Structure 1
Amino acid sequence: MTNEVDTIVPGNVRTRAEIKRIFGGSTQGGICPAIDERSVNLYSDPSVGEANGYYDGWLAEEDELGPIFEYTGAGKSGNQTFAGLAGSGNRAILRHAEQGRTLRVFTQVGRIPNSDTKTHLYLGEFTLDALEPYVWRRVHGEDRKERGVIVFRLRPDGKVQRSSGNVVPRAEKTTCELVPFEEVTAATLQSDPATTGMLPAVKKGRDKARSLRKAAENAATSGSFVVSEAFNKKMSLRSSTASHIAVRREAELTRTYMAYLQSVGHKTGAFQIKVKGLTSTLRTDLYDATEHALYEAKGSSTREDVRMALGQILDYSRYVRTREHTEPPKRIILLPAKPDLDMFELCQSCNVEIIYRSENGSFIGEAVPVD
C-alpha cells in the first residue's frame, strides 16, 4: 500500500522538501527542473507576484479548449528572457514537451505552525497551450519601472485543483497601454527549427517591394515560434497543422509589415488592454503610432479569418486612444493574400480597410504608407 507521504495528488498541501522527495527539483526558486523525475516544478507565490507587478492563476474566462492557468516566467527585475543563465528556467518550461518533462504547478498557501517553512498546494499536471504557449506582457514592478515579462499559458493535463483563491484578480477599471511590439521568438530554442513557416522571399520590383524584401531578410534572422514534432505529439494536435502554419504566417506577415512601416519612418508598437471585470489581458497585433492606425493580422485570407479579424479589430479599437489621438484609430486588417471581393464590401461597411500581400511580395491597399 502506498503511504500518503510517498505520493502527491492535486489538492494535497506539502512542503518543498516533501515535494522534492517525490518530484525532484530544488527547494529554492520558482522554476525547478528535475532531470531524473522528468518534471518541471513551478512554484507560485501570490505575495511575490503582486510585489513584482503580476499575478499567477486561473483566468476566469475560458475559451473553446477549456481553462487556462497563467504562470509568469523567471526574472524579478528588468526584461525577462529565454537566453543565457537568466533564461534557463523559462527555456525549461518552453521545451518541456520535446524533453519529455511534465509541468507541475504548486501555489504557496501557508506555513508550518511555529515555523518559517512554507506549504504549497499541488494544482496538478499541465502542458503549454499548443498555439499560443506564452505571451509577452508589460508590467510595473515593485520599483515602478516598466519591464517585459513572459506569461506562459498552461492547459490542464488531467485532473487539477481549481479554487476561487487561485483566480487572477479581475480588472478594477479598463486600461489601454501602448507597449513595445514583441512577438513569440522561440525558433532558436527548438531542437529542429527548420520549419519556421517563412513567407516567400520578396521579388525585385518597385522601391516599396525592395524595402519589403529587405525587411523579410532581416526578419528571417530572428526566428519565430515553431511547433516541433515532439511538441505536436505531446499535445496530440497533429491534425491541427493548418492552424500552426496560419499562426507562423501571421507572425511573419506582421513582422515583415512592421519592418516596412519602420523603413518609411513610422513608429510602431502594440496595445495591452485590460477590461473592467475581466481577468484576461488583451493584446493587439500592431499599432502604427505615426498614422494612429490599428492592425489586426491573420495568417490566411479565408472568409472565416476575415470575419474573425473584423470582430477583433472592432472590439480592440473601442479602447485604443493616446494623448496625441483621442479619436478612434484607423482600422486595418492585414492579410497574406487577396480575399474574396465581398469581404472588401463587408469591411468597408464597418469602416475597416484591408491591406494584403501580393504574389511579388508588395503590400496592396489604400492605407499602405509611402515614403
Structure 2
Amino acid sequence: MTASVETINPGDVRTRTEIRAAFGGSPQGGICPSEEMQSVNLYSDPDVGERAGYYDGWLAEEDELGRVFEYTGAGKIGDQTFDGVAGSGNRAILRHAEQDRVLRVFTRVGKLPRSDTKTHRYLGTFTLDGMEPYVWRRVHDEDGHERNVLVFRLRQEGAVQHAAQDVIPAAAETTAEFVPFRAVTAAMFQSDPATSGALPLPQQRVRKGSSAGKAAAPNAETSGTFVVPEAFSTKLSVRAASAATVAVRHEAELTQAYKAYLDSLGHQTGAFQIKVEGLTSTFRTDLYDATDHVLYEAKGSNSREDVRMALGQILDYSRYVEMPSHDGEPTRVILLPAAPAPDLYSLLDRYEVGVVYRADDGGFVGAAVPKADQ
C-alpha cells in the first residue's frame, strides 16, 4: 500500500516505508529531513530514549500557550552538538522554519505481525517554540556517563494527538543530587548555522484538558543537578519578533557576559537542573557561582514585571540548591541589564534578594559582584 498525506492523520500507525511515501525522509535515523516534501520527520523510540537517559513526550504542565512536546536531539554517545555531520539533524530541526519545512513527530509503537518491520504512530505537525526553541540538559546514559543533550521544545502547528502514554513520566520524589562541574566546549553552543534560523511563534493554542487517561508512570527519583550554564551568545533571527523574544536574547547575552566575568576571576560557575516531585517539567536556573554560593536569576529587561517574575523564580529555585562545601541556601541575586526602579529594591530587600546590574561602561554593579583583587 502506498500512503498519501491525506491517509496519515494524527493517531494513525504506519511503517517507515509508508511514512516516507507521504512525507519523505531517510529509511533510518531519528531526524529525517526531506527537501522534496518540505518536512523534517522526527522519530522517537521510548525504549531507546529511556536507556540513553531521556524521555521524549508531552509535558503535563501547561503554560499560557498550551502544551509543550519535548524531543531530544541526535547523538547517543557523548555531548550532542549542532556542528558537523553529527549535528546535521539537530541543525535541520532548528532551521526548519527558515527552510520552509514542517516538523512531523512519530513515536514507535511496535512491529508488524510476524515481522521485524517497526511501526510508528503519527502525532502531528509541530513548530519550535518561538520563545525557547531548545534547552541544554544534563543526563546519564545507559553506562552511567554524564553528557549534555539538546531538548527541543515543540508547539503544535496543526492537529495533533494527545495520548496519555506520550506524557513524560513525573518525578516520584525530590532529591538534590550534586554532579561535579564538567567543562563543555564553546563550539557546541556557538554554531552560526544553528542559530541563524527564523523561529515562528506558535500559530495555534493547544486546547486544555485534551490528554485524558491514566497518569504516566513516575521517574525513579527527582534530582537537582549542577550543570554548565547555557552559552547562547549568537543572536537568533526571530520571525515575528516581539518584545518578549528580544528580552530572551538579551537575557542570554547578559548571563553569558556576567559568567565570563566570574570565570575571569577563577570562580567555578554553572547552573542547577531541578526536577520536582510530581512534575514532568525540568527546571534550569540561569547561573550559579559555586565559589561564593550565589544563585542568579537573569532577566532581559529591568521592568517591574520582569523583576517580580525573577523574584518568584529565585525564591522557588533556591530551595533546592545545596552544595556540600557551603551551608544553607545560597545568596539570592537578580541579574538585570540596568538598575530597577528604586522602590523595587525595598521589595527585594524584604525577601533578602540582591541585585546586580550592568553599568553604562559594561561593568557590573551590586554588592554580590566579586572584585578582581579577592
TM-score normalised by the shorter chain: which range applies?
0.7 to 0.9
> % of aligned pairs identical?
62
Q: How far 1:241 moved relative to its partner?
A: 2.2
Larger deviation: 3-12 or 184-193? 184-193
1:350-369 pair list within 5 angstroms: 350-369=351-370
**Per-residue Cα deviation, 1:121-177 (whole angstroms, up to 9, x for no partner):** 000000000010000000000110000000000000111001110000001222344
Deviations 1:290-343 (A, max 9, x none): 000000000000000000000000000010001212410000000000110111
CA separation of 1:191/1:61 partners in 2, compared to 1, >3 Å: closer, same or farther? Answer: closer
Match of 1:226 in 2: 236
Q: In the TM superposition, what is the alpha-carbon distance from 1:87 to its structure 2 partner? A: 0.3
Q: Which residue of the partner structure matches residue 331 of structure 2?
A: 330
Change (3 A) 1:364 1:122: same
Letter in 1 for 2:291: T
Q: 1:71-98 CA deviation, whole Å, 9 max, x = no partner?
A: 0000000000000000000000000000
> TM-score w.r.t. structure 2 length?
0.85
Q: 4+ residue runs of structure 1 moved beyond 2 angstroms?
A: 2-7, 175-187, 190-194, 221-225
- Taking structure 1 as the reference length, what is the TM-score of the superposition? 0.86
Q: Tell me the C-alpha RMSD between the 2 structures.
A: 2.2
Match for 2:234: what amino acid? S
Aligned to 1:268: 269
The answer on whether the counterparts of 2:3 and 2:19 sit within 8 Å (CA) in structure 1 is: no
Task: Give the structure 1 partner of residue 346 of structure 2.
Answer: 345
Whose helix proportion is higher, 1 or 2?
1
**Correspondence 1:59-208 to 2 at 5 A:** 59-176=59-176, 177=178, 185=189, 188-189=192-193
Cα deviation code 1:157-199 (max 9, x no counterpart)? 11100111000000122234456688994661168589xxxxx
What amino acid sits opposite 2:94 in the alignment?
A: L
Identify the residue that residue 209 of structure 1 maps to in structure 2. none
Shift of 1:278: 0.4
- Structure 2 gaps of 5+ residues are 199-230
What is the aligned partner in structure 1 of residue 16 from structure 2? 16
The alignment of Structure 1 onto Structure 2 pairs a total of residues equal to: 335
Answer whether contact 1:181 1:270 (CA < 8 A) is retained.
no
Q: CA deviation at 1:357?
A: 1.0
SS of equivalent to 1:27: coil
Displacement of 1:227 after TM fit?
2.6
| Counterpart-to-counterpart distance in 1, 2:140 and 2:3 | 45
Query: How far apart, CA to CA, are the structure 2 residues paired with 1:324 and 1:331?
Result: 17
CA contact (8 A) 1:357 1:364 kept: yes
Instruction: Spell out, residue by residue over 1:217-244, the C-alpha distance to the aligned partner (whole angstroms, 9 max, x if none).
Output: xxxx98424034xxx1xxxxx2x52112
Q: What secondary structure sits across from 2:367 in the alignment?
A: coil
